[in-house]
Structure 1
């Protein structure tokens, strides 16, 4: 990956906040819990190709910071790690993956508090912290162990000046999850590829009922930035920016994507309306599992809900299709494949660097399968898909999920995907594209006005961030 030279406004925002914020307590994160599947994990995948250093035999104690409750999976991961490395004791600390929670991480790093290994959720977090030298350069550990990062984890991994400051141990995929029973009743096959127009036809045929009993054909994700995903299918990496570094919201695809969402929800009324999601704070996971929608655009985080038949008893299995493409005859869908999300990094001031590295390397490779317990997809190229599905859904996985479709679409380790490398004004752009689209969906402004405001304000945010 080329060196990233553009500055990040996120860095300035975080550091400005840190000047006035103390170490607040973590709020709750996550939703439904799933049970652990340790037996499946034992047969997860071949051992990592790198040998453990002799330093692993030395007694050490490290802390690991993440955004899940310990009993949602991290506790089991530590137990599995200690089966191989009993002399390295790991203490888990939870923080909220929110702006406030991440300020706590930053202030702890600057203040030199006890923190050894921690998650950065999203590349913008890694970039901001790396630029401020809050992350350990991993070069010496990678070189010493001859750890081939690209062979083990992939090529499009964030680097700064050619150096790694975190290992992408988990990924996210975005897909369309479908009630297979309703699909069969409508006489529709499971799509292996489709355009927005074809997706719309499915939604029409799957919509039925009225009032409280209405089943919408589909639902977009509850986070509003998902309306831009059809554009991602064409442009992929850095889709929010044009070749000159300004915002790209005057690209024709954005108008088509926003018009599509507006029509699906406010005209055809075959997609669960965002206005209702906003007013009730509903989540697409719940809407789908409660059969209020026949299809749902979601990340693989929905797997925690699909695997939970106690809280979500049901009479259907879930199948999966890729996100639809913007155009009908599109040659490539850049929404397919894995998108790096959970970067594991080391505090440069830790007193236990060898032990911290050993834990990081284990969780990035053979231990990564346990991340499925918290709904994340391991990035490790040698992940055993069959074992991974059992960890996610249990031994009776075939009664909950269409295994063939899930492995093909969600566990797609081969497709070319997108991973952004430009973050100038990134947080501001993310907020603007949601705020202006929301006004259009609520009828406060026309779509053309929303896009014009989006473009103008985003260009200003980019200019002010440089």
Structure 2
């Protein structure tokens, strides 16, 4: 056995000097992030739109309550959000706090090791203290560790144009998800009675815009799954793709058949003409019913017609009737101030600030259920009890949005957008396109999920 040599006093002295030097360097680096008053600055990166940048108005109150913390908001347009975030990370200038407000989602961030495990900093923190339901908190946990704190909780809703319903002498659709009479078939029949199929833009109107989730999630409404079940327990990485299974093909045929067979839903060309590239055709007043994310409620005051909110109807085959869009706040892995970042996050999810945020944002749905009543009463002309019933049903029959749960989703989403364009424009048939998409998707996943 090799004997250990005694360490000389000279080496010990040198080692102590090195330790002191590194300690001084670390302290200097840490002090660079503080100003002369001992304040630290954290950055909050968000989308450059009023429903997100309103947080700037909350900063003075937060800083008054936390004099050791300053908050700086940085922002980017929605379509540039992912690329700007990636650029800042590559430049070693990542924000402290952000969310998956672009195309990429939680599992993409997690698998790329971009977000911090908050568990060590959450001693004494309970979601229930902020009235956050356990199942909502659990969305952003992996192996019992917390990687995100929920902030807002959107769902899928049906908005409908009361004026078009009245004109067609149709009863308003129900808000109760347990109403067995409100089915997909009934919705289609209503849509037919409100559709005016005309090449004259002034005369044309459509009964239904079925915007349920992203393109790869829409078959879920019909009881069909594009991805294998292990996707949800395997870090958002599916082992199988089911795009050519009969039930998936039929689901897509039904979805696009609303446009080109039944002709009760608007074409992409019509939608772009009446609403612009990133607009909502429902706002034009030429759509009878719109299945859409509840963020569209925030535009209720802009509608030039009377609007109602209803349950998404019962599916012919599936149980999932709502896509849930729970937006969390993350602390990025490279943050030098996770404790201060968490103080900002905890401030934003208090009942008082969530209530204030509803007004300032134009109607962001709070994750803190103590603020929910204010949210339900926020939309003039829409029955608060009806909105509450729709949200309750959507939570019961909901499934979290695929873009939050599937790894490398920004690339997957781009593939579906590009490859389904021919079907959406009416130039190609679903059954001809899906096998090619499946092959390309498998190749993509093999490459990015190594």
Indicate the TM-score class for this superposition, using the shorter chain for normalisation. Answer: 0.7 to 0.9
Q: CA deviation at 1:59?
A: 5.0
Q: Match for 2:343 among 332, 339, 358?
A: 358
Q: How does 1:103-142 map to 2 (within 5 A)?
A: 103-113=83-93, 115-121=95-101, 124-142=104-122
Query: Could you report, residue by residue, the CA deviation over 1:43-72 in whole angstroms, capped at 9, with x for unpaired residues?
Result: xxxxxxxxxxxxxxx854322111134685
Q: Match for 2:367 among 372, 379, 404?
A: 379
Rate the CA distance shift 1:239–1:255 in 2: closer, same or farther, 3 A. Answer: closer
Give the equivalent residue in structure 2 for 1:89. Answer: 70
Q: Which runs of 5+ in 2 are unaligned?
A: 1-37, 231-237
Distance between the aligned counterparts of 1:139 and 1:224, measured in 2? 31
Q: Secondary structure at the match of 1:73?
A: helix
Q: Which moved more, 1:412-421 or 1:256-265?
A: 412-421
Query: Could you report, residue by residue, the CA deviation over 1:286-339 in whole angstroms, capped at 9, with x for unpaired residues?
Result: 42222111211221121222133xxx4x241x21223334416x5x3x233733
Does residue 219 (structure 1) correspond to residue 209 (structure 2)? The answer is: yes
Give the equivalent residue in structure 2 for 1:335. Answer: 321
Distance between the aligned counterparts of 1:184 and 1:257, measured in 2? 31
Query: Could you report, residue by residue, the CA deviation over 1:154-182 in whole angstroms, capped at 9, with x for unpaired residues?
Result: 32413344322221212321222101232
Q: Match for 1:260 among 246, 250, 254?
A: 254
Q: Which moved more, 1:202-211 or 1:121-130?
A: 121-130
Q: Say whether the 8 Å CA contact 2:206–2:265 is kept in structure 1.
A: yes
Give the equivalent residue in structure 2 for 1:173. Answer: 155
Give the equivalent residue in structure 2 for 1:303. Answer: 297
Rate the CA distance shift 1:412–1:250 in 2: closer, same or farther, 3 A. Answer: same
Q: Compute the TM-score of the two structures, normalised by the length of structure 2.
A: 0.74
Give the equivalent residue in structure 1 for 2:286. Answer: 292
Distance between the aligned counterparts of 1:75 and 1:424, measured in 2? 31
Q: CA deviation at 1:151?
A: 6.8
Q: CA deviation at 1:461?
A: 2.2
Distance between the aligned counterparts of 1:149 and 1:110, measured in 2? 36
Q: Secondary structure at the match of 1:217?
A: strand
Rate the CA distance shift 1:196–1:128 in 2: closer, same or farther, 3 A. Answer: same
Give the equivalent residue in structure 1 for 2:26. Answer: none
Does residue 446 (structure 1) correspond to residue 429 (structure 2)? The answer is: yes
Q: CA deviation at 1:116?
A: 2.3
Q: Say whether the 8 Å CA contact 2:81–2:101 is kept in structure 1.
A: no
Distance between the aligned counterparts of 2:283 and 2:363, measured in 1? 16
Q: CA deviation at 1:203?
A: 0.2
Give the equivalent residue in structure 2 for 1:22. Answer: none
Instruction: Tell me: higher relative CO, structure 1 or 2? Use CA pairs within 8 A at least 6 residues apart.
Output: 1
Give the equivalent residue in structure 1 for 2:270. Answer: 276
Q: Say whether the 8 Å CA contact 2:150–2:367 is kept in structure 1.
A: yes
Distance between the aligned counterparts of 2:98 and 2:49, measured in 1? 14
Rate the CA distance shift 1:149–1:245 in 2: closer, same or farther, 3 A. Answer: farther
Q: Secondary structure at the match of 1:305?
A: helix
Give the equivalent residue in structure 1 for 2:440. Answer: 457
Query: Could you report, residue by residue, the CA deviation over 1:419-465 in whole angstroms, capped at 9, with x for unpaired residues?
Result: 35863554443333333332123343222112222222222222333
Q: Say whether the 8 Å CA contact 1:321–1:405 is kept in structure 2.
A: yes
Q: CA deviation at 1:130?
A: 3.0
Q: Match for 2:57 among 72, 76, 95?
A: 76
Q: Say whether the 8 Å CA contact 2:156–2:293 is kept in structure 1.
A: yes
Distance between the aligned counterparts of 2:437 and 2:421, measured in 1? 11
The count of aligned residue pairs is 390
Q: CA deviation at 1:347?
A: 3.3
Q: How does 1:149-164 map to 2 (within 5 A)?
A: 152-155=132-135, 156-164=138-146
Distance between the aligned counterparts of 2:430 and 2:395, measured in 1? 36
Q: Say whether the 8 Å CA contact 1:82–1:88 is kept in structure 2.
A: yes
Q: Say whether the 8 Å CA contact 1:322–1:336 is kept in structure 2.
A: no
Q: Which runs of 5+ in 1 are unaligned?
A: 1-57
Distance between the aligned counterparts of 1:455 and 1:254, measured in 2? 12
Q: Say whether the 8 Å CA contact 1:176–1:321 is kept in structure 2.
A: yes
Q: Match for 1:182 among 164, 176, 183?
A: 164
Rate the CA distance shift 1:303–1:146 in 2: closer, same or farther, 3 A. Answer: closer
Distance between the aligned counterparts of 2:129 and 2:434, measured in 1? 40
Rate the CA distance shift 1:409–1:94 in 2: closer, same or farther, 3 A. Answer: same
Distance between the aligned counterparts of 1:464 and 1:248, measured in 2? 18
Distance between the aligned counterparts of 1:304 and 1:166, measured in 2? 25
Rate the CA distance shift 1:306–1:253 in 2: closer, same or farther, 3 A. Answer: farther
Q: Say whether the 8 Å CA contact 1:425–1:461 is kept in structure 2.
A: no
Give the equivalent residue in structure 2 for 1:49. Answer: none
Distance between the aligned counterparts of 1:451 and 1:229, measured in 2? 14
